[in-house]
Amino acid sequence: MRRREFIALIGGAAAWPLASSRAQQPGKLRTIGFLGSATPSAASQWVGALVLRLRELGWIESRTLAIEYRWAEGNNDRLAEIAAEFVRLNVDVIVTWGTASVIAAKQATTVIPIVFASAGDPVGTGLVPSLARPGGNVTGSSNQAADIAGKRLDLLREFVPGLRHLAILANISSPIGVLQIREAQAAARALGLEVTALEIMRAQDIAPALETLKGRAQALYVVSESVVFTHRIRIHTLALAARLPTMHDYREYVETGGLMSYGPNFPASFRRAADFVDKILRGAKPGDLPIEQPTKFDLIINLTTAKALGLTLPPTLLARADEVIE
């Protein structure tokens, strides 16, 4: 489903994350605590997918279900505070995405079920001991971000012939940032690429990190997590000014100016999160629900950005792209 068609279908979903739950008769409604690591506008399509699927399953916001939305807006220091608030509110389920957010929720409670719509390598980052039997109070979907670093680099090399020097941007204050930068570095070196690691820890580090390249890199691999995602437009602006083609995890980066992405479909992941929530609200234990993995990965290319960088879209990539944004 194309983005425009999806927005037309859900009509008005962009406004949902901005509201509180409007909790009418809170004692009679099951309650979801939605922990958003980014901003309401950035995640509106994902929230729309979640709410739409919940509605299909019989959970209608403000009628049979209350949703308390809270937003960290790319500030990971806020995650623990929000998670603690949900514990005080005694919500029935916490829904979130991203490793840092899940860790914050997990540290706040061992009782309230936690569903993550997407997280990179849940076992490798210590979120769960096993995909098949997660145990405890956490379940959801893995995005396999670290596992497909090599595939992303293969695609990037098709777009940038003669690629020899790659820069990798990652937030190393995030467990998934540390894991993914290692995977990307290993994949790049296996392909014979010289690597420059741009390790940041906060939003203020982004511009200085990119400025250190000074023409030394031919492309930029961006490791996604909440801080990087929240400031993705700034990254795109700086990368374009430095004439750096960029590779990302998913399409929302490409919509705002990134060159290309290869990864799972996030709205689909949030729809699956709704299925997890439905099972839990009907009595299932999160620890008994296996972690799911995506079966389809989308290749998205921004043709406008390619033209701005003076790059020609190879016919082989055009034929394989799931969507070309113009």
The rounded distance, in Å, linking the Cα atoms of 227 and 287 is 29
pLDDT of residue 296: 82
> What are the tens digits of pLDDT across the range 103-137?
999 999 999 999 999 988 888 888 999 999 999 99
Greater confidence (292 vs 148) lies with 292
Q: Is 11 exposed, middle or buried (0-12, 13-18, 19+ CB in 10 A)?
A: exposed
Contact 34, 66 (CB under 8 A): no
Residue 186 lies in a domain: yes
> What are the tens digits of pLDDT across the range 273-312?
999 999 999 999 999 999 998 888 999 999 999 999 999 9
Q: Say if residue 277 is in the same domain as residue 303.
A: no
The β-bridge relationship of strands 65-71 and 30-36 is: parallel
The top-scoring range by mean pLDDT among 8-17, 138-147, 267-276 is: 267-276
Token pair recorded at residue 39: 């901003």
Q: Say if residue 102 is in the same domain as residue 174.
A: no
pLDDT of residue 174: 85
Q: Say if residue 25 is in the same domain as residue 116.
A: yes
Over range 142-151, report the average pLDDT. 78
Q: Say if residue 136 is in the same domain as residue 243.
A: no
Q: Say if residue 278 is in the same domain as residue 312.
A: no
Q: Say if residue 189 is in the same domain as residue 307.
A: yes
pLDDT at 139 over 80: yes
pLDDT at 69 over 50: yes
Q: Say if residue 237 is in the same domain as residue 275.
A: no
pLDDT of residue 27: 53
Q: Say if residue 282 is in the same domain as residue 229.
A: no
pLDDT at 176 over 60: yes
pLDDT of residue 19: 39
> What are the tens digits of pLDDT across the range 4-59?
444 444 444 444 444 343 333 445 699 999 999 988 988 899 999 999 999 999 99
Which has the minimum average pLDDT: 42-46, 176-180, 278-282, 321-325?
A: 176-180
Is the CA virtual torsion 61, 62, 68, 74 positive or negative?
A: positive
What's 308's domain CATH number? 3.40.50.2300
Residue 293 lies in a domain: no
pLDDT at 246 over 50: yes
pLDDT of residue 6: 42
Q: Say if residue 217 is in the same domain as residue 138.
A: no
Q: Count CA atoms within 13 Å of residue 312 on its CB side.
A: 4
The rounded distance, in Å, linking the Cα atoms of 311 and 100 is 35
Based on the structure, what is the number of domains in the chain? 2
**Which residue range is the domain that position 70 belongs to?**
3-143+265-288
Q: Say if residue 226 is in the same domain as residue 251.
A: yes
CA distances (Å), origin 77, targets 100, 185, 325 = 10, 27, 34
pLDDT of residue 145: 60
| pLDDT band at 161; cut points 50, 70, 90 | confident
| pLDDT band at 147; cut points 50, 70, 90 | low
Q: Say if residue 22 is in the same domain as residue 63.
A: yes
Over range 177-195, report the average pLDDT. 92
pLDDT of residue 120: 80
Residue 82 lies in a domain: yes
pLDDT of residue 146: 57
pLDDT of residue 9: 43
Residue 31 lies in a domain: yes
Q: Say if residue 16 is in the same domain as residue 77.
A: yes
Element (H, E) at 280: helix 266-281
Report the length, in residues, of the chain. 326
pLDDT of residue 114: 98
